[in-house]
Amino acid sequence: MDEVSRIRGRVTSRDGTPVAYERYGDGGGPPLVLVAGARGTAESGRPLAGLLARHFSVVVYDRRERGPYAVEREIEDLAAVLAAAGPGAAVHGTGTGGALALAAAAAGLPVEAVSVYEPPAHEPYAREGGPWPRASARAARAAVQTTHAPAYGLAGVRARVLVVDGGASPAEVRRAARALAAALPRARHRTLTGQTHEVAPHVLAPVLEGFFSGERETAGIP
């Protein structure tokens, strides 16, 4: 991590909320924004960012503190970070960050590709501060179409998507991940052997690298 350059910055969301971010890498690769889970910060994304910074200009940021939740505000935060990251940005989200990434893509944010690792499906996302339904194929199809964000349906996600889960995670989590991938227009599903929700960055990084590098034959996505 010491060899990777880091630049700290701040953007302002649409409602005036300041959003702190960190950029890793020398900017030579395409931009990639990492969205942490609930109450996630730039710090929580540093290990994965350091590994991916060899090939991408990686941006991690602080998600806003929770009050009365509105997914629209978090989408506006992500929009501001994407603007700072630069054109052609891709997004990876972990946990509730994955649900936010999909909601943002469905809402029309300019995202080239999205990957998600175990977005919440077996419990209401509202419990962690955002919209996500219970696990089932029907719920996965409905996904972000909740009372919090009724306009953000999975059919609106036009980006290529990779849905990833851990082979040692509960069976319901893996079933929900497969159902989510099946419900998206341009998606595939992958399981990482032996991993849990606390996925090891060195295991996840090469998977994301292959997907976001546009290796469509490897990713298996049209």
Residue type, 90: A
Greater model confidence, 70 or 54? 54
Is the pLDDT confidence value at 63 over 50?
yes
Grade residue 144 by pLDDT with cuts at 50, 70 and 90: very low
Pick the CATH number of 6-215 from 3.20.20.70, 3.30.110.40, 3.40.50.1820, 3.40.50.2300: 3.40.50.1820
Kindly list the domain boundaries of the chain, sorted by start residue.
Answer: 6-215
Helix, strand or coil for residue 201? helix
Task: Give per-residue pLDDT as tens, 156-206.
Answer: 898 999 999 999 999 999 999 998 999 898 999 999 999 999 999 999 999
| pTM of the predicted model as reported, rounded to 2 decimal places | 0.83
The alpha helices in the chain, defined as continuous H runs, are 46-52, 71-85, 96-106, 137-142, 171-183, 201-212, 216-219
